Amino acid sequence: MLKTLQLVRIMLQDLHNKKLFKNFEAETKVADGAPRTLVVRITSPAPDRSKDTVQPTGMNANNYEKNPVVLYAHNYADIPIAKCNNLKVTDEGILASVEFPQEGVYAKADTVYAMYKGGFLNAWSIGFMPTDYDENDQGGYNFKEWELFEFSAVPVPDNPEALTVMRSKGIDVDTLFEKGVLPYKETPKAPDDASWDAGEEVKAASVDDLKVMCAWVDSENADNKGAYKLPHHLHSGEHDVVWRGVAAAMGALLGARGGVQIPDGDRKGVYNHLAKHYKQFDKEVPPFKAVGEYNQEALLDLDKKGLIDFGDEVTLTKELFREMEKQILEKEEKSGRSISSKHESLLKGAVENIQSVLSSVSTSDDDDGKEVEMPLTKRLLNQINTAQKQMKETDKQVGLTLRLIKVIQSESKQKGGEIK
């Protein structure tokens, strides 16, 4: 986003029909008789630091007034922090009446309102498109006619200690700088035991749906569905929140399911978002920890307690694996049957993958001297399942091999796994 027009001038670009942003620092007043409403000046006719002027009488707000949102820092992926009730053109600029939602509805809106009301923020920025302009004798531009898209509160406090002061007063200013955290929205709850298929829900969703469904977005690519992560709401209807989706998202945030790649600075905000859904379902919220602070055993323990969804995974001890391997070898020897080289290779690959998973996890004993259970991932089970199908279709001499695979599948299902 351009906050000045300097780059535009340097590159000699045509400004006509280009979306621009201009910041204005002006007095903000609390409206008389209107709760949680501010009267703010969003433009000024005076030249700014770039020597540009924006003529108040040249504003076209016809389209804006159909959807009079007030944003924070021009973040189009986030929900508005307030709405504009009125625009008034004066000789000193354009005055806007900005109404914030009731306290407690949206934490970021509460923070922004408190910072303006306390005098720690006093800047606003318009997003507009010039339709008529010319150069002035000071080296800037005079924007004579322009269309207003939106205007935003922007974090340009005059006092460099403002954020420290606000924190000392208990105001959560950190929510202002979490670029990718999507705001919590309370929607109806799906039944606690409702099934959840994140892939199918995202596939059927629109970008607007995903803004409600997910907890994080790559804000620079918010128009792309692939920018949204950690879904936990249904895509249709009133976007019911699904407990299994919430638990899966929290598990991924804390390191299960392969984790999730988001900036470290956004993780606590995502955690707070999901924690509110935990309270919505009357569930205990697992403690927040940074990436890597939960090991596999701790995550599995949270899964067993029902606090997160570790994923479609089962546990397989080394002792159980060795016993299954021994059984298949004994049965092969007794039967005298042989396995084709092709299927022997398939089975060997599956076995090597199992051994790799087992050896990659800590093998330390627990406090009772028992061997620690090891995770067997759904991806590995799918590999085994694929090998099974190929064997069935092409060779009927692998019955013993198939029985071994069935033993693995049986053990996985008994311990909560599922193969699709």
Instruction: Report which secondary-structure segment, H or E, holds 70.
Output: strand 69-72
CA distance 403 to 409: 10
For 16-33, give one letter per residue: b (16+ CB within 10 A) or e.
eeeebbbbbeeebeebee
CA distance 3 to 23: 7
- The per-residue pLDDT for 188 is 95
**Nearest-CA neighbor of 278 among 255, 320, 248, 247?**
247
Is a pLDDT exceeding 80 seen at residue 170?
Answer: no
- β-strands 141-153, 59-60: how paired? parallel
CA distance 234 to 232: 7
CA distance 80 to 149: 13
Instruction: Give the residue with greater pLDDT, 67 vs 345.
Output: 67
Average confidence (pLDDT) over 199-205: 93
> What is the tens place of the pLDDT at every residue in 15-71?
555 556 666 655 566 666 678 999 888 888 888 767 788 899 999 999 999 999 999
pLDDT level of residue 10 (50, 70, 90 thresholds) = very low
> What is the tens place of the pLDDT at every residue in 275-327?
999 999 999 999 998 767 888 788 888 888 988 887 654 444 455 455 555 66
pLDDT level of residue 361 (50, 70, 90 thresholds) = very low
- The per-residue pLDDT for 70 is 94
Maximum mean pLDDT: which of 94-103, 324-333, 385-394: 94-103
Give residue for tokens 């922004």: 112
How many helices (H) and strands (E) would you count in the chain? 12, 14
Give residue for tokens 């969003």: 42
> What is the tens place of the pLDDT at every residue in 107-133?
889 989 988 888 878 788 888 888 888
The CA angle 66-71-76, to the nearest 5 degrees, is 85
